[in-house]
Amino acid sequence: MTQNVIVPQRSRVSLIALWVAQVALALMFLMAGGSKLSGVPAMVTLFDALGAGQWFRYATGVIEVVSGLALLIPAVAVFGALLLIPTMIGAIATNLFLGQSVIPPLVLLVVASAVAWVRRNDLPAIG
């Protein structure tokens, strides 16, 4: 059985705003993930303070870089945004644990959630 799904067209301004948000988010996570993967001393120290081991720094870095790249590819941008939501929830919990500000990861969580919401119609239909 075939379903016809009506996908509303985005205005030019909203499409530009969406892409500005996606590119900004992608750049933030490419830089953040890259710093984790390259072993920037501040990142090594941060993950030492967590006590989870450096493997967790690498795993987080890979998630952030993959998500950042996905945000730049229209067909998979929604998946990049969705992957960042639990990542930023974890970052907020980590910052609370370490006594750091939760504002930066909270802002990134809101932007990633907004991108995922706007791109929700790009998800494949199940069923």
Looking at residue 20, its pLDDT comes to 95
The answer to whether 105 and 95 have CB atoms below 8 angstroms apart is yes
pLDDT at 2 over 60: no
The answer to whether 19 and 115 have CB atoms below 8 angstroms apart is no
Tens-place pLDDT, residues 14-67: 889 999 999 999 999 999 999 999 999 999 999 999 998 899 999 999 999 999
The answer to whether 110 and 16 have CB atoms below 8 angstroms apart is no
Looking at residue 5, its pLDDT comes to 55
Tens-place pLDDT, residues 96-110: 999 999 999 999 999
H-state helical runs in the chain? 12-38, 41-50, 54-71, 77-98, 103-118
Q: pTM for the complete prediction?
A: 0.86
Looking at residue 41, its pLDDT comes to 96
